[in-house]
Structure 1
Amino acid sequence: MRSREVDRQRAQTRKAQVKQRDDGLTPEQRRERDAKALQEKAAKKAAQAAAGAGGATDSKNKGNAKK
């Protein structure tokens, strides 16, 4: 009987997780929203890269040149 209660509780948590995904949008609307968010993120990243590229060198790979 104990395992039955545990199974019910797990099923309820799974249901709750599925409900969070339901935002009332059609798949097409969701794709458009996500594409727009990705474009904004890419534009922001490009702007930061352009602002940081003024005189900075790539410090991540400093000293890691292949010989």
Structure 2
Amino acid sequence: MTRGNQREKAREKNMAKLAGSKSKNALSGTEFARAKEDTAAIMRAKQAAADAKKAGESSGGKK
């Protein structure tokens, strides 16, 4: 069992660890929305390119 200030030191260390690990998202609401929209636009472009490639292969491969 911990005694003296050892318990307090462990408690302080744990609180510091928890405080440091909580803030994963440092963006404000509008910045987060803009980043999310940018990522979505990139994904839509990739999906459109993949669909175009798939359509080209399926129509061009059969004779």
Q: Where on the TM-score scale, by shorter chain, does this alignment land: which range? A: 0.5 to 0.7
Opposite residue 37 of structure 2, the aligned amino acid is: Q
Out of 44, 47, 51, which is 2:45 matched to? 47
Q: Read off the aligned partner of 1:37 and give its amino acid letter.
A: A
Look up the equivalent residue of 1:34 and give its one-letter code: F
The alignment status of 1:10 with 2:32, answered yes or no, reads no
- Whole-angstrom distance in 2 between the partners of 1:38 and 1:16: 24
Using the alignment, how far apart are the partners of 1:15 and 1:34 within structure 2? 21
Note the C-alpha offset of 1:3: 3.0
Q: RMSD in angstroms over aligned alpha carbons? A: 2.6
Quickly say closer, same or farther: Cα 1:55–1:14, change in 2 above 3 A.
closer
Q: Which of 8-17 and 30-39 deviates more?
A: 8-17
TM-score (norm 2): 0.58
Identical-residue share of aligned pairs (%): 16
- Which digits, 9 at most, give the CA deviation of each residue in 1:35-63, with x for residues without a partner? 10011011000000010101427xxxxxx
* Cα separation, partners in 2 of 1:43 and 1:7, compared to 1, 3 Å: same
- As a proportion of its length, which structure holds more helix? 2
